[in-house]
Amino acid sequence: MGIIGASGFVGGELIRLLSKHSHCEIACVVSREHAGQYVHKVHPHLRGIIDLRFTNYDLEKVISSSDFVFTSIPLKASIEAMPRLVEAGLKVVDLSPAFRLPTPMDYVEHYGAIHPDEGLLRKFIYGLPELNRDEIRASSMVANPGCMATAAILAIAPFVHVLEESGDVIIDAKIGSSGSGSKPSPYNVHAVRYGVVRPYKLGSHRHAAEVMAFLHKRNARDHEVLFSAHAVNMVRGISATVYLKTYEPLEQIEAWKLLRSAYDSEMFVRLVKDKTGGFRLPDPKLTVGSNYCDLGFELRPNGKRLILVSAMDNLVKGAAGNAIQCFNIMNGFRESEGVDMPPIYPT
């Protein structure tokens, strides 16, 4: 197995989780910047866990040493590399945005250009196991969802068929600093990043495109998705609050039934709505290090306005853990293999 783009936070999580996976051997970890260095020099928590050096970016070496590859590289690099990986017969889970959207034109608004490879784009399956498990199982090419898109879609999915026919789907997401990646910038150094609640991409975050594609697939085409993000003062985690309007009033018991019908058999979705205690609704602090997505809700008194809360670790269920879940499905392994650890608390 190979990991292309193994030196970032997501790459580190892939190595950490896969290092204890009973059905795989990591043979190749690729990083242009850190080629030749031991993994633990970049991911110091993996000292003594994995004894590999990063290799330079060479697709032929990856192909010769791997039958499965995770790609965690920028969109353009993924588009350029993918034809050769697919041609060589490798199974792939791509963690970039390069193959998440259904048509080339979907890339124009949020990624600045039409996707250049329509044929390959249409072969990729959107890798959200809770919704697309059968398609993932039958595929050799899976596009891992965006982290905030995962949080939003899992919240919305049970309620798609009770939405008001038109109107706004409003998503307000907060994400920790690891969501901006491991590359330093003037805006994510500690002195600037610490203590912030920084709004960005108000109403137009690029993960809105994934939510729109999901709604269209479910024949809910008349909804505008307003997706805003905030950088907040935590390292890991996403908290997404989603506002929906239903076509007729819902009772609490009906909302519970929809959630349970969707997720009772899902090992990585937990429903959280307690009447007492300090954690009455989902909190990303209680998902750190795990592959869980926690979901909860509140109904306004008229029953037609539904407020959903979704929480997860952006690096695990939002990225590496979900990708390994897809890997397991694609290869017929136990779905929870390598990602069935409980969260860490306190953090």
**Residue by residue, what is the 3-state secondary structure of 139-185?**
CCEEECCCHHHHHHHHHHHHHHHHECCCEEEEEEEEECHHHHCCCCC
Q: Do 160 and 63 belong together in one domain?
A: no
Read off the pLDDT of each residue in 16-44 and give the average, rounded to a whole number: 97
Q: Do 229 and 167 belong together in one domain?
A: yes
From the candidates 24, 28, 147, 293, which is the catalytic residue? 147
pLDDT tens digit sequence for 238-272 = 999 999 999 999 999 999 999 999 999 999 999 99
What pLDDT does 221 receive? 75
Q: Do 219 and 79 belong together in one domain?
A: no
Residue 333 lies in a domain: no
Read off the pLDDT of each residue in 50-62 and give the average, rounded to a whole number: 97
Residue 289 lies in a domain: yes
Residue 293 reports pLDDT greater than 90:
yes
Residue 296 lies in a domain: yes
Residue 227 lies in a domain: yes
Active-site annotation holds for 147: yes
Q: Which of 123, 140, 161 is the last residue of a domain?
A: 123
Read off the pLDDT of each residue in 105-118 and give the average, rounded to a whole number: 95
What pLDDT does 165 receive? 86
- Position 327, amino acid: F
Contact indicator for 222, 160 with CB cutoff of 8 Å? no
Residue 327 lies in a domain: no
- Position 309, amino acid: V
Q: Do 190 and 91 belong together in one domain?
A: no
Read off the pLDDT of each residue in 28-56 and give the average, rounded to a whole number: 97
Q: Domain span at residue 237?
A: 148-312
- Select from 151, 196, 182, 190 the least CA-distant residue to 313: 151
Percent of residues, the chain, with pLDDT higher than 70? 100
Residue 220 reports pLDDT greater than 90:
no
Read off the pLDDT of each residue in 264-282 and give the average, rounded to a whole number: 97
Q: Do 118 and 157 belong together in one domain?
A: no
Q: Do 34 and 177 belong together in one domain?
A: no
What pLDDT does 188 receive? 84
φ/ψ of residue 93, rounded to 5: -115, 120
Contact indicator for 79, 97 with CB cutoff of 8 Å? no
CA 217 vs. chain centroid, Å, equals: 19
What pLDDT does 1 receive? 96
CATH code, domain carrying 47: 3.40.50.720
Measured CA distances, 330 to 137, 204, 340 (Å): 5, 33, 17
Q: Do 155 and 304 belong together in one domain?
A: yes
Contact indicator for 207, 227 with CB cutoff of 8 Å? yes
Contact indicator for 8, 64 with CB cutoff of 8 Å? no
Q: Do 196 and 47 belong together in one domain?
A: no
What pLDDT does 318 receive? 98
The residue to which tokens 């034109």 are assigned:
105
Q: Do 153 and 268 belong together in one domain?
A: yes
* Residues 38, 185, 195, 311, Cα dihedral to 10°: -60
Query: Per DSSP, what are the bridge partners of residue 240?
Result: 173, 310
pLDDT tens digit sequence for 137-196 = 999 999 999 999 999 999 999 999 999 988 899 999 999 999 988 888 888 888 988 999
Residue 101 lies in a domain: yes
Residue 140 lies in a domain: no
Position 94 confidence tier, pLDDT thresholds 50, 70, 90: very high
pLDDT tens digit sequence for 298-343 = 999 988 999 999 999 999 999 999 999 999 999 999 999 999 999 9
Read off the pLDDT of each residue in 100-110 and give the average, rounded to a whole number: 95
pLDDT tens digit sequence for 74-83 = 999 999 999 9
Question: Mean of the per-residue pLDDT values for the chain?
Answer: 96
Percent of residues, the chain, with pLDDT higher than 90? 92
CATH code, domain carrying 185: 3.30.360.10
- Select from 156, 83, 163 the least CA-distant residue to 117: 83
Contact indicator for 73, 57 with CB cutoff of 8 Å? no
The residue to which tokens 């429903």 are assigned:
271
Residue 32 lies in a domain: yes
Q: Do 43 and 111 belong together in one domain?
A: yes
Number of domains composing the chain:
2
Structure tokens at 271: 């429903």
What pLDDT does 184 receive? 83
Q: Do 28 and 82 belong together in one domain?
A: yes
Sign of CA dihedral 257, 258, 261, 265: negative
